């Protein structure tokens, strides 16, 4: 169903068309803060210049046109159906029944205020809509999301946390919009680090079982040794080459530590509630590399330069240098860009996606620029030119010193330690706020875990993903302010209010929007716009902002009007229905952010 602003935009578009004004300027949007009107259309200003007319005059003609126009869908029908606004077709409202006022503000804005009956009717429709006003996209379109990106044998760190959290949320958004989504963890399981471990095991003459603890020790040791000693590095390279050439013994060993490593990763991802459909890695691209390289060479797209095989991806209108993508180094080794290109071929073959979205550190933006250009220029797979390749980059999570987040000792902060830290803090916060007091140990633990994950995820997602942010465990776990725990608390509070009112199913009564309800009602009605905005730009923070506003608005609504004590039965039911709708929307958004809400707190 169209959103409130879409409905209004349609009305304005009709007026613009009738007046021969460019219809793209007819867009209606929610008014900015502190403005008297609920909505605005600023199109008259944009039309005025080319027409050399006074914008206020144009605005007046638009208003006149709207007020004098009677949509052909009989206004007469409205009378009969008006008794139950929630089932009334919004399009059959007459203009007089829609607009409380249309007025000109400033140099020529059109200020729009709606009739409460119209808001009630819209919200009634939204409340019965299964998908909260979001049209389900046809299931045929597939979106591949590449997130998580942990590396074998290395501990997952805060960078992987960001990728996992944002990627998981984006996957949920696309799911909600009806796309078919594939989340791929895309592990780093194929480069020189693999050879470092293999050669280290060989030097140790170790052929026993491999454990995670062991890997955690071996890898840093091997990596340090390789850095220091060219000869040692040569061994690692040789082992990598042998592995990539399919050496049986090495492949078996490699498989062993991959499995151990994945087990460790899964623990982290489970704790976060992050899921993947595919557990693929760079190694899965391997079979596609040789044929791809041959093909690109034969068509002259890839050529030799200084012994290496490269693809020139620069464009004439580049304003910064985009260096060529190196497919093969002079020693024949493949690079990160090579596996990423080959992975696109794999994904095209298995999924024929509409978009491939990479949720990866913003510092890799040049890498993705090169890969995307090479993929399109080299037409590496049929249909590639119809696929949207998107790098949804994110900034760094910094410590209080403004530098990338580290442990107190200055080491890399492991993801599992970070989660543990969150749980500890969340437990303390629950104690402080005297919440979860009368729960048994198991439920308390569960609530603390949910609070901790809500804190971590919301603190991350609420920032525009490109921006860096400061990790502040005290602030993010607080039950006050723009935090995950605050939203959980509000959701649970509404839950218990509804329980107290004895409501356990959808309230089937019309809304009756009055002064005390209007702000909340309008905000609830804006969900579809915010959702679409978040989806369009792959920016979950838009939903975080909205959820926070909604929770705050609910708080003032709750404080300012009678609900359970309301004597007018119709108003009381309408308000309870507003509570129910707020609860439903908060839960939906938290779910979209990957945040679980406890039954009680
Ligand atoms: N493993 C990489 C890292 O830790 C991230 C992989 C991202 N995905 C990709 N297709 N390149 O930086």
Using the mean position of ligand 1's atoms as its centre, give its distance from the Cα of residue 381 in Å.
21
Is there a contact between 95 and 66 (Cβ–Cβ < 8 Å)? yes
* pLDDT value at residue 68: 87
Does the pLDDT at position 551 exceed 80? yes
CATH of the domain at 96: 3.30.1360.70
Start-end of H helices in 352-386 = 365-377
Q: What is the pLDDT of residues 364-382, one digit of tens each?
A: 999 999 999 999 999 999 9
Residue ID of nearest Cα to ligand 1 atom 7: 149
Instruction: Considering only residues 407 and 119, tell me which one the structure prediction assigns the higher pLDDT.
Output: 119
> Which range among 40-54, 413-427, 537-551 has the greatest average pLDDT?
537-551
600 assigned to some structural domain: no
Find the angle CA(344)-CA(349)-CA(350) to the nearest 5 degrees.
100
Calculate the alpha carbon distances from 225 to 191, 193, 196, 206, 220 in Å.
17, 12, 9, 18, 8
Q: What is the whole-number distance in angstroms between the Cα of residue 464 and the centre of ligand 1?
A: 20
How far is the centre of ligand 1, averaged over its atoms, from the C-alpha of 109 (Å)? 47
Whether 125 shows a pLDDT value over 80: the answer reads yes
Task: Say whether pLDDT at 78 is over 90.
Answer: no
Three-state SS at 126: helix
- Looking at 78, 100, 128, the residue that finishes a domain is 128
Q: How far apart are CA 276 and CA 145, in angstroms?
A: 9
Average pLDDT over residues 528-557: 97
Closest atom of ligand 1 to CA, residue 151: 1
Residue of the CA atom closest to atom 11 of ligand 1: 340
113-131 burial string, b = 16+ CB within 10 Å, else e? Answer: ebbbbbbbbbbbbbbeeee
| pLDDT > 70: percent of the chain | 97
Contacts of 31 (CB under 8 A, 6+ apart): 37, 38, 39, 40, 111
Average pLDDT over residues 157-161: 86
Q: Are 110 and 94 in contact (CB under 8 A)?
A: no
The encoded tokens of residue 455 equal 């804190």
Residue-level pLDDT at 402: 86
414 has pLDDT over 90: no
Are 353 and 375 a contacting pair, CB within 8 Å?
Answer: no
> How many angstroms separate the alpha carbon of residue 209 from the centre of ligand 1?
28
pLDDT in tens, 559-595: 999 999 999 999 999 999 999 999 999 999 999 999 9
289 Cα to the center of ligand 1, angstroms = 18
Confidence bin at 137 (pLDDT 50/70/90)? confident
Out of 153, 188, 368, 394, mutate this one to test ligand 1's pocket (max ligand atoms within 8 Å of CB): namely 188
Helices (H), 152-285: 158-176, 192-203, 212-228, 230-244, 248-272
93 lines ligand 1 (CB under 6 A): no
Q: For residue 157, is it within any domain?
A: no
Q: Is the CB of 576 under 6 A from ligand 1?
A: no
89 pLDDT exceeds 80?
Answer: no
Stretch 490-496: mean pLDDT: 95
- SS3 label, residue 36: coil
Q: 191 CA to middle of ligand 1, Å?
A: 12
Query: Ligand 1 centre and the CA of 551: distance in Å?
Result: 36
Ligand 1 within 6 A of CB of 284:
no
Tell the residue nearest (CA) to atom 8 of ligand 1: 149
Does the structure show a pLDDT above 80 at 72? no
Position 581 in a domain:
yes
Task: Give residue 272 CA to ligand 1 midpoint distance, Å.
Answer: 19
140 alpha carbon – ligand 1 mean position (Å): 27
In a 3-state reduction of DSSP, which class is residue 19?
A: coil
- pLDDT for 179 beyond 50: yes
Q: Which residues, including other chains, have CB under 8 Å from residue 10's CB and lie 6 or more apart?
A: 2
In a domain, 448, yes or no: yes
Q: How far is the CA of 248 from the centre of ligand 1 (A)?
A: 27
Q: Interior CA angle at 396 toward 466 and 404, to 5°? A: 160
> What distance in angstroms lies between residue 368's CA and the mean position of ligand 1's atoms?
10
Distance 188 CA to ligand 1 centre (A): 7
> Distance, CA 261 to ligand 1 centroid (Å)?
16
- Tokens 């379109």 belong to 141
Is 436 a domain residue? yes
User: In the predicted model, what is the mean pLDDT of residues 357-365?
Assistant: 97
Q: Any idea what the CATH number is for the domain that residue 554 is in? A: 1.10.730.10
Name the token pair of 504.
């356990």
For a mutational test of ligand 1's pocket, the pick from 288, 325, 337, 364, i.e. the residue with the most ligand atoms closer than 8 A to its C-beta, is: 364
pLDDT at residue 490, as a whole number: 96
Q: Is 340 in the pocket of ligand 1 (CB under 6 A)?
A: yes
Q: What is the mean pLDDT of residues 431-436?
A: 90
Per-residue pLDDT at 436? 86
Task: Say what the pLDDT of residue 88 is.
Answer: 54
146 lines ligand 1 (CB under 6 A): yes
Ligand 1 pocket test: which of 281, 360, 392, 396 has the largest number of ligand atoms within 8 Å of its C-beta?
360
CA distance linking residue 22 with residue 16, whole number of Å: 7
Ligand 1 atom at minimal distance to the Cα of residue 336: 11
Question: How many angstroms separate the first and last alpha carbons of the chain?
Answer: 35
Residue 148 Cβ contacting ligand 1 at under 6 Å: no
* Domain of 44, in residue numbers: 4-128
pLDDT value of position 403: 85
Residue 52 counted as domain residue? yes
Which of 186, 325, 338, 346 maximizes ligand 1 atoms within 8 Å of its Cβ, making it the mutation to test the pocket? 186
Calculate Rg over the CA atoms of the chain.
Answer: 29
The number of the ligand 1 atom at minimal distance from the alpha carbon of 364 is 12
Q: What is d(CA 581, CA 494) in angstroms, rounded to the nearest whole number?
A: 10
Nearest residue (CA) to ligand 1, atom 10 = 340
Domain boundary, last residue among 79, 101, 128: 128
CA 528 to centroid of ligand 1, rounded, Å: 33
Q: How far is the CA of 280 from the centre of ligand 1 (A)?
A: 12
Q: How is 482-537 classified by DSSP, letter by letter? A: SSHHHHHHHHHHHHHHHHHTT--S---S-----GGGHHHHHHHHTHHHHHHHHHHH
The dihedral formed by the CA atoms of 48, 53, 56 and 60, expressed in degrees to the nearest 10: -100
Question: Which of 128, 163, 183 delimits the end of a domain?
Answer: 128
* 543: nearest Cα among 601, 496, 487: 487
Helices (H), 52-153: 55-68, 76-81, 95-98, 116-128
Ligand 1 centre distance from Cα of residue 186 (Å):
7
Tell me, yes or no, whether 350 lies in a domain.
no
The pLDDT value given to residue 470: 92
Mutate to test the pocket of ligand 1, among 145, 146, 149, 193 (most ligand atoms within 8 A of CB): 149
Cα gap 516→530, rounded to integer Å? 23
Query: Structural domain tally of the chain?
Result: 2
Q: Ligand 1 pocket, 188 CB below 6 A?
A: yes
> What is the percent of the chain with per-residue pLDDT over 90, rounded to a whole number?
83
| Ligand 1 centroid distance, CA of 247 (Å) | 25
CA angle 318, 321, 325 (to 5 degrees): 105
pTM above 0.85, yes or no: yes
Give the closest residue (by CA) to ligand 1 atom 12.
Answer: 149
Is 370 touching ligand 1 by the criterion CB < 6 Å? no
The model's pLDDT over 254-287, given as tens digits with 9 standing for 90+, comes to 999 999 999 989 999 999 999 999 999 999 999 9
Least confident stretch, 43-52, 409-418, 545-554 = 409-418
For ligand 1, say whether the CB of 360 is within 6 Å of any of its atoms: yes
């Amino acid at each position: 169903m169209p959103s409130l602003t879409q409905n209004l935009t349609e009305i304005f578009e009709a007026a613009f068309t009738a007046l021969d004004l460019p219809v793209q300027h007819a867009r209606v949007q929610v008014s900015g803060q502190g403005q008297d009107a609920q909505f605005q259309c600023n199109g008259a200003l944009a039309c005025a210049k080319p027409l050399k007319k006074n914008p206020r005059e144009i605005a007046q003609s638009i208003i006149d046109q709207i007020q004098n126009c009677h949509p052909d869908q009989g206004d007469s029908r409205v009378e009969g159906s008006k008794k139950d606004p929630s089932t009334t077709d919004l399009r059959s409202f007459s203009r007089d029944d829609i607009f409380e006022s249309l007025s000109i503000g400033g140099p020529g804005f059109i200020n729009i205020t709606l009739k409460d009956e119209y808001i009630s009717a819209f919200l009634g429709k939204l409340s019965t809509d299964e998908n909260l006003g979001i049209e389900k996209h046809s299931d045929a379109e597939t979106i591949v999301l590449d997130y998580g990106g942990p590396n074998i044998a290395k501990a997952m760190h805060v960078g992987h946390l960001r990728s996992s959290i944002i990627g998981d949320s984006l996957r949920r958004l696309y799911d909600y919009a009806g796309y078919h989504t594939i989340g791929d963890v895309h592990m780093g399981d194929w480069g020189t680090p693999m050879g470092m471990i293999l050669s280290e095991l060989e030097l140790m003459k170790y052929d026993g079982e491999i454990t995670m603890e062991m890997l955690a020790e071996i890898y840093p040791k091997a990596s340090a040794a390789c850095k220091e000693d060219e000869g040692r590095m040569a061994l690692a390279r040789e082992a990598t080459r042998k592995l990539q050439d399919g050496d049986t013994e090495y492949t078996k060993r490699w498989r062993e530590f991959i499995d151990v490593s994945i087990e460790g990763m899964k623990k982290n991802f489970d704790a976060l509630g992050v899921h993947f459909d595919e557990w693929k890695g760079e190694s899965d691209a391997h079979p596609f590399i040789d044929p791809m390289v041959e093909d690109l060479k034969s068509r002259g797209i890839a050529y030799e330069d200084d012994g290496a095989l490269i693809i020139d991806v620069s464009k004439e209108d580049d304003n910064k240098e985009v260096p060529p993508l190196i497919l093969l180094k002079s020693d024949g080794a493949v690079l990160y860009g090579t596996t990423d290109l080959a992975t696109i071929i794999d994904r095209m073959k298995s999924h024929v996606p509409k978009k491939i979205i990479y949720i990866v550190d913003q510092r890799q933006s040049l890498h993705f620029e090169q890969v995307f250009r090479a993929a399109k220029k080299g037409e590496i797979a049929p249909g590639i030119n119809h696929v949207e390749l998107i790098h949804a980059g994110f900034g760094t999570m910094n410590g209080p010193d403004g530098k990338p987040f580290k442990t107190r000792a200055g080491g890399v902060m492991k993801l599992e330690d970070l989660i543990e830290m969150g749980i500890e803090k969340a437990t303390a916060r629950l104690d402080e706020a005297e919440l979860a007091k009368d729960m048994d140990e198991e439920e308390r633990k569960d609530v603390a875990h949910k609070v901790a994950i809500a804190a971590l995820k919301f603190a991350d997602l609420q920032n525009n993903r490109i921006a860096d942010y400061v990790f502040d465990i005290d602030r993010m776990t607080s039950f006050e302010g723009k935090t995950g725990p605050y939203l959980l608390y509000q959701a649970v509070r509404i839950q218990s209010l509804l329980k107290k009112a004895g409501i356990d199913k959808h309230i089937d009564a019309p809304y009756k929007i009055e002064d005390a309800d209007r702000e909340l009602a309008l905000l609830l009605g804006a969900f579809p716009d915010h959702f679409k905005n978040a989806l369009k730009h792959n920016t979950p923070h838009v939903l975080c902002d909205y959820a926070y506003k909604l929770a705050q608005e609910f708080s003032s609504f709750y404080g300012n009007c009678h609900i359970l004590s309301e004597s007018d039965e119709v108003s009381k039911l309408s308000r309870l229905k507003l509570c129910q709708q707020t609860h439903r929307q908060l839960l939906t958004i938290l779910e979209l952010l990957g945040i679980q809400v406890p039954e009680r707190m």
